[in-house]
């Protein structure tokens, strides 16, 4: 085995620790969305754009969701990249992860036995009545924005997503394809 191969192999192993693979231009999101995962995913995508500036990024997602603000930040970031981001549901994309999956700017895919779940946002407000009511109003506006985003990137309108989100709604791969959440099943 040559010294270069060992160095290349060591570099590959280091990339995998970081959650990226520059050979396939792939990064992974298999955690809950929060401000740290937002930053981590942006850093990984920036790295891939720097290493392969003209190659689409593959973002493999297996997540139960999380912070909607982090998800919206990542959606805005992806839309501003100079390359396309192919999103792939590997197993499950729930809640905020389902929105990220549908907002891929390249090809959006799901595995044959993948599951997507959408629902209304939730919050845990406490405090004075006026402040709680402001929080509820903000949550309603946020949900309206998310429904409009889904209406823009899928085959269903915002009203459909409003109704679907009133309860936890689970979609198999075929339904995701039919509704335009993804472009193909892999």
- Looking at residue 137, its pLDDT comes to 84
Buried b (16+ CB within 10 A) or exposed e, 118-136: bbbeeeeeeeeeeeeeeee
Residue 153 neighbours by CB under 8 Å, 6+ apart: 102, 103, 180
Q: Quick check: is 156 in a domain?
A: no
27 vs 88: CA distance, rounded Å: 10
- Looking at residue 15, its pLDDT comes to 77
Q: Quick check: is 134 in a domain?
A: no
Q: Quick check: is 139 in a domain?
A: no
Give the chain's length: 186
Q: Quick check: is 150 in a domain?
A: no
Domain residues for the domain of 50 are: 3-121+169-185
Rg, Å, the chain Cα set: 18
Average of per-residue pLDDT across 59-87 = 96
Which pLDDT band holds residue 92 (cuts at 50, 70, 90)? very high
Q: Quick check: is 23 in a domain?
A: yes
Which pLDDT band holds residue 3 (cuts at 50, 70, 90)? very low
Residue 8 neighbours by CB under 8 Å, 6+ apart: none
Q: Quick check: is 145 in a domain?
A: no
Residue 164 neighbours by CB under 8 Å, 6+ apart: 118, 156
Number of independent structural domains in the chain: 1
Q: Quick check: is 59 in a domain?
A: yes
Q: Quick check: is 129 in a domain?
A: no
149 vs 145: CA distance, rounded Å: 6
- Looking at residue 1, its pLDDT comes to 37
52 vs 34: CA distance, rounded Å: 27
Does position 125 have pLDDT exceeding 80, yes or no? no
Residues 135-150: tens digit of each pLDDT: 788 888 999 999 999 9
Domain CATH for 22: 3.90.226.10
């Amino acid at each position: 085995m040559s010294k270069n191969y060992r160095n290349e192999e060591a570099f590959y192993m280091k990339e995998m620790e970081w959650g990226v693979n520059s050979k396939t231009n792939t990064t992974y999101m298999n955690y809950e969305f929060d401000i740290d995962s937002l930053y981590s995913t942006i850093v990984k995508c920036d790295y891939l754009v720097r290493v392969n500036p003209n190659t689409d990024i593959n973002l493999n997602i297996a997540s139960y969701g999380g912070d909607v603000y982090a998800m919206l930040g990542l959606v805005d970031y992806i839309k501003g990249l100079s390359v396309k981001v192919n999103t792939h549901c590997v197993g499950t994309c729930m809640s905020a992860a389902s929105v990220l999956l549908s907002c891929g700017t390249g090809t959006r895919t799901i595995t044959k036995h993948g599951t997507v779940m959408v629902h209304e946002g939730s919050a845990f407000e406490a405090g004075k009545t006026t402040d709680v009511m402001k929080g509820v109003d903000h949550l309603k506006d946020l949900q309206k924005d998310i429904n409009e985003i889904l209406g823009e990137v899928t085959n269903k309108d915002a009203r459909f997503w409003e109704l679907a989100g009133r309860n936890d709604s689970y979609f198999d791969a075929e339904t995701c394809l039919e509704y335009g959440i993804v472009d193909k099943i892999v």
